[in-house]
Amino acid sequence: MNLKTVIERLGLEVLTGADHLGREVTGGYVSDLLSDVMANAVAGQLWLTIQTHQNVVAVASLANLAGVVITSGKKPDAETLQRAEGEGVVIMRSPYPTFRVAGELWGLLGGAS
């Protein structure tokens, strides 16, 4: 399933990377620990986190993730958004807690990890 479909179904707000919504989402990864994401996330996954700083962009790019969903209504600062746009990292936002977004994503992807 591509990012555009996930965004529509989960009601996510796209903050950066609108030109990259055709990326395939192979699963999801939930963590707020950057080193955990670097070590364990798989390329193509959608990363759910409450982190909003610039290092999120670096990790998402390094891990070749489909995108990042920042949950609980949090929003990155302008510098983080600018860096994400420049690196082609899709950042989305949800007003809902991570647990809810993860459950909805899991259901949407048919239980894919």
Q: Which tens digits make up the pLDDT trace of 95-108?
A: 999 999 999 999 99
- Distance in angstroms (rounded) separating the CA atoms of residues 85 and 95: 21
The structure tokens listed for 82 are 């600018």
Position 31: which residue type?
A: S
- Distance in angstroms (rounded) separating the CA atoms of residues 79 and 86: 11
Position 18: which residue type?
A: A
> Which residues on adjacent β-strands are paired with residue 45?
27
Residue 37 has pLDDT above 70, yes or no: yes
Say what the pLDDT of residue 70 is. 98
Q: Average pLDDT, whole number, for the chain?
A: 97
Q: Structure pTM? A: 0.96
State in words which class domain 3-108 has: alpha beta
